């Protein structure tokens, strides 16, 4: 039996190698000549798509989406035009089930049978030959060609007629994506709470929360490995197919819709070619960060201002610190200096920003120590500024002094001390 395989990408290439290991006579085709050369070196023959249609009893495709499958098979001078009646087409791509049915209908006119047989397992299982095949098509065709798929997978299950395979695959992709999102939230929660994500993974993997997805993706997330086993771009394609299929039958899929937006956000930040485990970056994104205003937060917690706890909570997400000293207006006699009004409940709703650090009541030694401990001074995208509200006439001199203090204590952190106009004080008043 002669087999032709069109598509030697991340998945198709290791699948081709497993067909060769099983002893099949294999002819291959791909737009990437280097991939073709690699599989030829492993024992296959190279040919055009037309030649594959003419010479092969079974034609396999492993291409990105519905338009590519249609173009390869039914396009101008497509493979189907060269296939003999009685031959078989097996599409292993993940495409819209509606498209699978349309292709099968056209092939039937030519006397060609079809199976839609998408896979699950990603690159690691494609390499190991342990993929899961979800197959749609006639029982007798499935029975005759099941062994070919078995050479590449550990599980080969017929789910119904043509289209059922891709419907099952869409269900699979929804579950995988939702698992990755849940795992991303959980590990990010652990990290932000100060618990080692690796220990969390080891603790829960054997319980009810454990899954194949967790075992495959948690280690990659923890080590920051986004080498694509299954690209975000491809999962977007699958979720789009799932949304289209669900809309066609008026089935609401809110979790799928939300995940689609998450992945689109990542794609918009040039992460479409990364592994879908990069969903964790949506939660632990360098694009998101905290601005911490020291004089503002000093008065929280009834005047205690637990600054250290707040800084440690932010950790690597702290991007901007606004420096200025201020007075604790809850103390006696503070109203003699730029007084702040007290409301009926005794809370302070106004305060001064003093640019001369150390003149007020804030413990900056503790603040600088904490900032160094959380690595604020080691990041490239952090910034420190000062804001002298309440004492504009001192802005220039205090600004220079504050900048000196910041740079002394946080080496490498850019400080911003913009020159003030000579008439700044007039406008500020």
Which positions are annotated as active-site residues? 169
Helix axes 254-268, 232-248, angle to 10 degrees: 150
Angle at 92 between CA 87 and CA 96, to 5 degrees: 105
Burial class (CB in 10 A: 0-12, 13-18, 19+), 425: middle
DSSP assignment of 187-251, as one string?
HHHHHHTT--HHHHHHHHTTSTT--HHHHHHHHHHHHT----SSBHHHHHHHHHHHHHHHHHTT-
Structural contact between residues 141 and 113, judged by C-beta atoms closer than 8 angstroms: yes
In the structure encoding, which two tokens stand for residue 367, read together?
Answer: 């603040």
Distance between CA 70 and CA 96 in Å, rounded?
11
The token duo for 206 is: 């054997």
Tokens 């809850």 belong to 330
């Amino acid at each position: 039996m002669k087999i032709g395989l069109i598509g030697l990408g991340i998945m198709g290439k290791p699948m081709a190698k497993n067909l060769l290991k099983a002893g099949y006579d294999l002819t291959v085709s791909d737009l990437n000549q280097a991939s073709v050369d690699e599989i030829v070196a492993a024992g296959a023959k190279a040919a055009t798509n037309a030649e594959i249609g003419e010479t092969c009893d079974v034609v396999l495709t492993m291409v990105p989406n519905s338009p590519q499958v249609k173009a390869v098979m039914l396009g101008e001078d497509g493979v189907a035009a060269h296939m003999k009646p009685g031959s078989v087409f097996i599409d292993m791509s993940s495409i819209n089930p509606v498209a699978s049915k349309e292709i099968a209908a056209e092939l039937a006119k030519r006397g060609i049978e079809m199976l839609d047989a998408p896979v699950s397992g990603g690159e690691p299982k494609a390499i190991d030959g342990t993929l899961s095949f979800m197959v749609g098509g006639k029982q007798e065709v499935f029975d005759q060609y099941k062994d070919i798929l078995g050479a590449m997978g550990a599980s080969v299950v017929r789910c119904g007629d043509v289209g059922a395979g891709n419907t099952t695959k869409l269900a699979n992709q929804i579950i995988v994506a939702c698992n990755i999102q849940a795992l991303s939230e959980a590990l990010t929660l652990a990290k932000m709470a100060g618990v080692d994500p690796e220990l969390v993974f080891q603790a829960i993997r054997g319980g009810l929360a454990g899954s194949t997805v967790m075992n495959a993706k948690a280690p990659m997330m923890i080590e920051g490995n986004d080498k694509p086993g299954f690209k975000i771009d491809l999962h977007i394609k699958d979720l789009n197919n799932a949304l289209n299929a669900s809309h066609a039958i008026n089935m609401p899929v809110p979790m799928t819709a939300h995940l689609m937006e998450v992945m689109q956000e990542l794609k918009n930040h040039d992460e479409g070619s990364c592994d879908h485990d990069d969903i964790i970056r949506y939660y632990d994104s360098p694009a998101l960060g905290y601005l911490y205003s020291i004089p503002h937060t000093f008065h929280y917690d009834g005047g205690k201002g637990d600054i250290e706890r707040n800084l440690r909570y932010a950790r690597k997400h702290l991007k901007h610190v606004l420096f200025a000293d201020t007075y604790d207006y809850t103390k006696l006699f503070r109203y003699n200096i730029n007084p702040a009004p007290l409301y009926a409940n005794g809370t302070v709703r106004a305060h001064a920003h003093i640019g001369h650090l150390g003149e007020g009541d804030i413990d900056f030694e503790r603040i600088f120590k904490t900032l160094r401990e959380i690595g604020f001074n080691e990041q490239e995208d952090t910034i420190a500024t000062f804001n002298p509200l309440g004492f504009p006439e001192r802005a220039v001199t205090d600004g220079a002094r504050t900048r000196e203090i910041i740079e002394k204590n946080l080496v490498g952190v850019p400080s911003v001390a913009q020159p003030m106009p000579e008439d700044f004080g007039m406008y500020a008043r």
